[in-house]
Structure 1
Amino acid sequence: MNVNFTAKPINFKLGDYLNKGFELLKKDFGGILGGFLVTMLMSFIPFCGYLAMGNFYKFLRNKSKGIPASAGDIFNFDDFMPYFIIQLILTAGIIALYIPIIVMIPTVSYMDPDMGRTGLPVFFYLYMMVFYVALFFIIVKAFYLPALISLKGIKDIKTAWKMSLVMTKNNFFNILLFVIIAGIIGSLGIIACGIGLILTMPFAYVANYFAYEDALQQIGHDEIAEIGTKGTF
């Protein structure tokens, strides 16, 4: 059963999430690595990548709270439909954004510089700027979707999206910076010919988990406070 709550802008604590992620990873690296490898394995199943990620966050919640957790729990399909819908929407959106690029690239390559026609290349670069701005906007504004679906149990995508929009309000650059930092750390394993990815990539997921859990706790705390306040009258 879902607990109703009113979404609000979150006090985003970038440094805390990175530190807590490192501490949990250091405390139980073997168990978390096992869960991460199962997550990667499940991701090879068509349309199950986001589902595996969401289940991994449930796994990390149990690990962080000292609740027995098995990597096999990640093979759970209870949240398949919400994540399937998200993947369809994202795929359609990305295709829509890439269509103009696919059309413009051949046209740009056949232009004669001597003719002085520079309008299309300029438009192409402007479009690429818009493309990346739109991409970053979606990444940031959809940041809390996995938390709301997997950890809060909200199955309606429209509701989860609206809540994520509110929760990310006034934190766009903080969240974007967090995503970039976690992504860079998670990708450092490439230096070790790819093998190191199994050592660094789990960190990004663990740090994300603490960002999600803190956001839900902030809202949950407000709910309890609100109930207590109403009970005094």
Structure 2
Amino acid sequence: MVKINAKPVNFKLGDYISNGFDFLKNNFGDVFVAFLLCMIMGIIPFCGFLGIGNFYRYCRDLRAGKQVSAGDIFNFDNFMPYFILQLILIGGVMLIYIPMIAMMPLMADRDPSAGLPVFFIMYVLAIYIAIIIVCLKGFYMPALISLGGITDIKTAWKMSLTMTKGNLLTIFLYSLVVSILAQLGIIACFIGLIFTLPLMYVCHYFAYEDAMKQVTYDEIQEIGIKNEF
């Protein structure tokens, strides 16, 4: 049985990007088809996160040399955790917009030339920063759900909090770099997107794979090692 011992992860920014590039280059056909199906899953209501999670599992099995099929992207085993996560996100967005809607009548009476009220700008800025922090702290939740088998959202959140401890700035820089790489395809008249967009998700997979290796151990193997001594 594989156990998870959540602890701060040694984040290897450069390794994830280089390993992701090599893996995508060597398996481009398989990964690209799986990525396209992942995008199709995103069209289905409440299945976008599930498709991405299944893409990570596909990359894991492909990397391990297992028999894989692009149809694995349409696996619904982890539907409920991602469904609940998306409901939480929708609820959070609604809570964010309620104060903004309440401010609109006040803003409508203002002179447009006066610009936006300071308190409105401060509110939007605070919300933006809060969203970034929450996303960074929950960075490992997809890995814990799809690769670690954690189906309880609260447990996955607490584990991710521990795993990201001390790494928020590094994870932010990594996410920024990977996002820029993904957008480079637009500069190449959109043709480059067929490589750079899958690259972003593959790099995420390597970040998740390494993190799971650092926080998991096989209880059965550990018992066997102890018995040898």
TM-score (norm 2): 0.90
User: 2:72 maps to which residue?
Assistant: 73
Equivalent position amino acid for 2:131 in 1: L
Pick from 179, 185, 192: which aligns with 2:181?
185
User: 1:203 maps to which residue?
Assistant: 199
Q: CA deviation at 1:128?
A: 1.4
User: 2:100 maps to which residue?
Assistant: 101
Equivalent position amino acid for 1:135 in 2: I
Q: CA deviation at 1:68?
A: 2.4
Pick from 121, 126, 137: which aligns with 1:125?
121
Contact conserved, 2:85 with 2:153, CA < 8 A, in 1? yes
Q: In the alignment, is residue 17 of structure 1 matched against residue 13 of structure 2? A: no
User: 1:4 maps to which residue?
Assistant: 3
Counterpart CA distance in 2 for 1:113 and 1:38 is 46
Contact conserved, 1:5 with 1:223, CA < 8 A, in 2? no
Q: In the alignment, is residue 167 of structure 1 matched against residue 166 of structure 2? A: no
User: 1:176 maps to which residue?
Assistant: 172
Q: In the alignment, is residue 138 of structure 1 matched against residue 137 of structure 2? A: no
Counterpart CA distance in 2 for 1:186 and 1:155 is 30
Q: In the alignment, is residue 213 of structure 1 matched against residue 209 of structure 2? A: yes
Q: CA deviation at 1:188?
A: 2.0
Q: CA deviation at 1:77?
A: 0.3
Shifted more, 122-131 versus 206-215: the winner is 122-131
Counterpart CA distance in 1 for 2:127 and 2:106 is 18
Contact conserved, 2:143 with 2:208, CA < 8 A, in 1? yes
Counterpart CA distance in 1 for 2:148 and 2:131 is 25
Identity fraction in percent:
55
Counterpart CA distance in 1 for 2:125 and 2:224 is 48
Counterpart CA distance in 2 for 1:63 and 1:113 is 56
Equivalent position amino acid for 2:50 in 1: L
Gaps of 5+ in 1: none
Q: CA deviation at 1:173?
A: 0.5
Gaps of 5+ in 2: none
Contact conserved, 2:3 with 2:217, CA < 8 A, in 1? no
Over 3 Å off, 4+ runs: 192-196, 221-233
Equivalent position amino acid for 2:69 in 1: S
Contact conserved, 2:2 with 2:219, CA < 8 A, in 1? no
User: 1:26 maps to which residue?
Assistant: 25
CA 132–20 in structure 1, closer or farther in 2 if over 3 Å, else same: same
Q: CA deviation at 1:14?
A: 0.6
Q: How many residues align?
A: 229
Backbone CA RMSD of aligned residues: 2.7
SS in 2 for 1:4: strand
Q: CA deviation at 1:20?
A: 0.5
CA 231–160 in structure 1, closer or farther in 2 if over 3 Å, else same: farther
Equivalent position amino acid for 1:81 in 2: M
Q: CA deviation at 1:73?
A: 0.8
Q: CA deviation at 1:52?
A: 0.3
Counterpart CA distance in 2 for 1:227 and 1:141 is 33
